[in-house]
Amino acid sequence: MDTLKKNWSARACVALTMLATSSALHAQDAATNKPAIVVLGDSLSAEYGLPRDTGWVNLLRQRLAKERLDYSVANSSISGDTTSGGRARLTAVLTRIKPAVVVVELGANDALRGVPLATTETNLRGIVEASQAAHAKVLLIGMYVPPNYGPDYSQKFHAIYERIAKDKNVALVPFLLAGIENKPTMFQSDQIHPTVQAQPLLLENVWPSLKPLLGASAS
């Protein structure tokens, strides 16, 4: 994508690979009397480098309360996680929480680690299919990879999300970082992870695709 520039530099790619090993916010069990939204993600959803409860997932909880949508939110995001890791732990998450909606925010670390595109697509399809088999609606959050991989690779990577969303008839957020990708002040010192100030913008990217899933799930 031509809008991804300096903040997704080769230096930052290495930084993400090294820094994303810290533990993330652990999954929070959903209240048994509410339908649950599970966010299955990586450091972009796990509040990496942020004060506790300031990430976009916690802001989602506040938005739900403000709009009187009676859902709980379980953040099952782990910094540094890949689609393989997310797929491996999904069964336990589905069994324990029984979510109404699964938000899938994974894939960036696959590219940074050189995981073959076919493997990433297979894992994401597996996550979507398992979630649907558990009677959960799915929201897939797309990503672009840094430009040093080349525009052809970047487009092929992003096309995975579009293809799966179409094939599996699931909602899609085209790009979680849309609108901040060219704003260095919206990123932490590694120029990869968004700041506290950027988190409301991330939620605004997710909300329009997520909200239409909630009424049907609640009913």
Does residue 193 have an active-site annotation?
A: yes
Given phi > 0 = left and psi -120 to 50 = alpha, else beta, which region is 164? alpha
Active site residue 43: yes
Q: Where are the alpha helices (DSSP H) in the chain?
A: 10-19, 56-66, 83-97, 108-112, 117-133, 151-168, 199-218
d(CA 174, CA 161): 8
Residue 152's Cβ-side half-sphere holds a number of Cα atoms within 13 Å equal to 0
Tokens in use for 85? 């890791």
Q: Of residues 76, 77, 84, 193, which has the active-site annotation?
A: 193
Catalytic residue (choose from 42, 43, 72, 84): 43
CA atoms in the 13 A half-sphere facing the CB of 177: 26
**Which of 192, 203, 201 is CA-nearest to residue 4?**
192
Nearest to 177 by CA among 34, 53, 5: 5
Q: From the candidates 81, 84, 190, 209, which is the catalytic residue?
A: 190
Catalytic site positions: 43, 190, 193
